Amino acid sequence: MRPQVEYLYRLAWRFTGSVADAEDLVQDVLLKLYPRTRQLVDIEQLRPWLARVLYREYVDLVRQRARSPIADLAADAEGEDNPLDTLPAIKDGPEEHAERSGLRERILCALDRLNPEQRAVVTMHDVEGYSLEELETILETPLGTLKSRLHRARRRLRALLSVEPFSAGERVNG
Amino acid sequence: MECRDFTPQLDDCLDGRLDAAARRSIQEHLERCPDCRRLHQHAVALRAALRTLPAPTPRQGFVDQALSRATGAAAGAVRTPRRGALGMALAASLVLGVAVGVFLVTRAAPVQTVALTLERPETVRLMFNSAKPLQAATLSLALPGNVELVGYGDRRELSWQTDLREGGNLLQLPLVAHGTAKDELVARLSHGGSSKTFRLKIEIKNAGGMGMSPVGIAELAVQPQSGDMS
């Protein structure tokens, strides 16, 4: 599993935009998969398969939060895993903001404004490069629905970014 | 082709899902329509920027730690607490902590002020550290008029019924400020006939400023057994 952890982390971060959430998602996926590591050897397309498992965890997380604004936390306030000590919020603070600049920061802020389903399809398709046909399997969503979500996500991103249009100097070739 | 025909085909155009005739038709339209050409250029530039959007690598030690926990849990030997920071798809976060339950002692409480940046989503986190489980507590929020809870539109009064576990319970508030006036966010936690009101000062800065001020973890103590302690 070790070679896949960074890949899982990258996807998790793209889904959530949060270091802490990405770590939680990856940890949850590893906990689920570790007892089945021998079965993973037989999976031909391992990364799309892992992406699907991760996306399911992400959907569960979103649903869990929709039910209650209060998140579960470890109750151990004295141990080394005291959540108050490990909250990444401090790390995610001004320094991280300062690192985001220009176009990239505006895009990340705009992605934050998408709903989770839109964010998932636009990051998997436009950022990670998966085809819509591949995403039918990974996101377990029909092609028509994916196209609709992608259309709305892109339109929303363009609207959010249209206040300050792309200038020639900021464009990223690719 | 007319403009109304071009827009629905923009996504297929970006994704290379059009046949040669459709591509040619769009190309001809773009050559004579500056509005659609601008839209197309914007969409292409956005797509290119997304394709090269970087992602962070895991912090040092995370991979080993995560694998160790997974193997330990499989062996039944290691408890695997969540970090639980839950910054839901937002760019940055602040943390405040409040304690509820039967604590009598208060630690020095830093000024509970958070700084938001105008029109930038930020997560403000309130940590409710409860000394005992609280079933069916009611949490109410009153937001300043110029601050939106993401996903709730114009609603400024919100209320949930929720259970608090013993220990840390995290309330995350994805907020976006739409004006620069200073104001207060009021969170009220009620349980068993008693309640506690927490007030959070919000300062809002323009995007061109220095960004957020670092905010530490503040703790307040409350005894929820009697009356309104706000």
pLDDT tier, B178 (very low <50, low <70, confident <90, very high otherwise): confident
Phi, psi of A138 (to 5 degrees): -65, -45
Structure pTM? 0.57
Chain B residues in contact with A174 (beta carbon < 8 A): 48-49, 51-52
B34 vs B83, more confident? B34
CA dihedral (B146, B152, B158, B160) positive or negative: negative
The mean pLDDT of chain B is 71
CATH number of A1-88: 1.10.1740
* Residue B188 pLDDT greater than 90, yes or no: no
Instruction: Please tell me the class of the B90-230 domain.
Output: mainly beta
Asked whether the beta carbons of residue A112 and residue B90 sit closer than 8 angstroms, the reply is yes
Show Cβ contacts of residue B103 under 8 Å, excluding neighbours closer than 6 positions.
Answer: B131, B221, B222, B223
Successive 10-residue mean pLDDT values, chain A, 174 residues: 89 90 91 84 87 93 68 34 30 43 77 90 95 94 95 90 42 34
Mutate to test the interface with B, among A73, A95, A119, A134 (most CBs of B within 10 A): A73
Q: Which residues pair with B117 in a beta bridge?
A: B205
Give me the amino acid identity at B109: A
* Residue B179 pLDDT greater than 60, yes or no: yes
CATH number of A100-162: 1.10.10.10
pLDDT tier, B112 (very low <50, low <70, confident <90, very high otherwise): low
d(CA A40, CA A27): 17
Asked whether the beta carbons of residue A20 and residue B87 sit closer than 8 angstroms, the reply is yes
A-facing residues of B in 186-205 (CB < 8 A) are none
pLDDT tens for residues B35-76? 999 899 889 988 988 998 888 889 888 999 898 888 876 555
What is the per-residue pLDDT for B151? 66
A78 vs B195, more confident? B195
Asked whether the beta carbons of residue B84 and residue A73 sit closer than 8 angstroms, the reply is yes
Question: How near does any CA of chain A get to the CA of B186, in Å?
Answer: 15
Is residue B112 a contact partner of residue B199, using CB atoms and an 8 Å limit? yes
What b/e readout covers A28-41, taking b as 16+ CB neighbours within 10 angstroms?
Answer: bbbbebbeeeeeee
* Residue B97 pLDDT greater than 60, yes or no: no
d(CA A88, CA A84): 9
Mutate to test the interface with A, among B88, B125, B135, B148 (most CBs of A within 10 A): B88
Asked whether the beta carbons of residue B166 and residue A75 sit closer than 8 angstroms, the reply is yes
Q: Compute the average pLDDT of residues B115-134.
A: 75
Element (H, E) at B143: none
Q: What 3 state SS string does chain A have?
A: CHHHHHHHHHHHHHHHCCHHHHHHHHHHHHHHHHHHHHHHCCCCCHHHHHHHHHHHHHHHHHHHHHHCCEECCCCCCCCCCCHHHHCCCCCCCHHHHHHCCHHHHHHHHHHHCCCHHHHHHHHHHHHCCCCHHHHHHHCCCCHHHHHHHHHHHHHHHHHHHCCCCCCCCCCCCC
What is the per-residue pLDDT for A91? 33
Q: Compute the average pLDDT of residues B164-174.
A: 72
Chain A residues in contact with B81 (beta carbon < 8 A): 73-74, 76, 81, 83
What is the per-residue pLDDT for B194? 75
| Domain locations along chain A | 1-88, 100-162
pLDDT tens for residues A124-143? 999 999 999 999 999 999 99
What is the per-residue pLDDT for B133? 77
B135 vs B3, more confident? B3
Asked whether the beta carbons of residue B70 and residue A30 sit closer than 8 angstroms, the reply is yes
Mutate to test the interface with B, among A112, A130, A156, A173 (most CBs of B within 10 A): A112
Domain(s) of CATH 2.60.40.10: residues in chain B: 90-230
What is the per-residue pLDDT for A117? 92
A-facing residues of B in 69-88 (CB < 8 A) are 69-71, 73-74, 80-88
* Residue B215 pLDDT greater than 60, yes or no: no
Complex prediction ipTM? 0.73
Least confident of A120-129, B126-135, B198-207: B126-135
